[in-house]
A = this chain, B = another copy of it.
């Protein structure tokens, strides 16, 4: 049975119910760890499910950082140093990656607290995650404070480290091969299975699958 939940019904939801419900609406999301370090050498690692592609040339990715009303070591470090890493979460990393969302004090590195290992790309000043099968070195470009005080952080891709056998002939990266997971809601993890790949859509042709 289909049901409509209007604004009054949403506003009347119990708080935790509403958080789960509204967080589900954006569908399946990518699971990534953002690695940073402060000027005084304290590393930080935070899971985000809000990564979004902005463009391929120049190569730009954005993510949404929580409002200023809660501690934001990740954003503070990015604005201090100008650099960060984005690391895909694979299935075996789920427990430790999720654990980075606990509210650790700024003195405690989520790397050591969760058992994930720092990995330093040559000449790059922010720590990546050794266990991740796809690591991206990012340079901060700009940020926008949005109406609910969340912050959209935009960065330029400086370097990507990935297994070459996951990079297909036409550039598409096979994320099932990397065992990258998807998130729904706040805390639900999934392994996507390939259904089909569609050809570039043209107005004069019926939709075609590539394979």
Contact = CB atoms under 8 A, between A and B. Distances in A.
A175 B27 contact: yes
B53 A161 contact: no
A200 B182 contact: no
A106 interface: no
Contacts of A54: 64, 146, 148, 150
A147 interface: yes
Interface residues of A, number: 116
A113 interface: yes
A3 B162 contact: yes
Contact of A1 (B16, B96, B165, B184): B165
A158 interface: yes
Interface string A188-211: 111111111111111101010110
A141 interface: yes
A41 interface: no
A195 to B, nearest CB: 5
A62 to B, nearest CB: 8
State the oligomeric state as a number of copies: 2
A59 B179 CA distance: 31
A49 to B, nearest CB: 8
A197 B192 contact: no
Contacts of A70: none
A19 interface: yes
Interface in A60-87: 60-62, 64, 86
A157 B25 contact: yes
Interface of A: 1-7, 10-11, 13-32, 49-62, 64, 86, 88, 91, 94-96, 98-105, 108, 113-114, 121, 134, 136, 141-142, 144, 146-148, 150, 152, 154, 157-165, 167-168, 170-173, 175-176, 180-182, 184-185, 187-203, 205, 207, 209-210
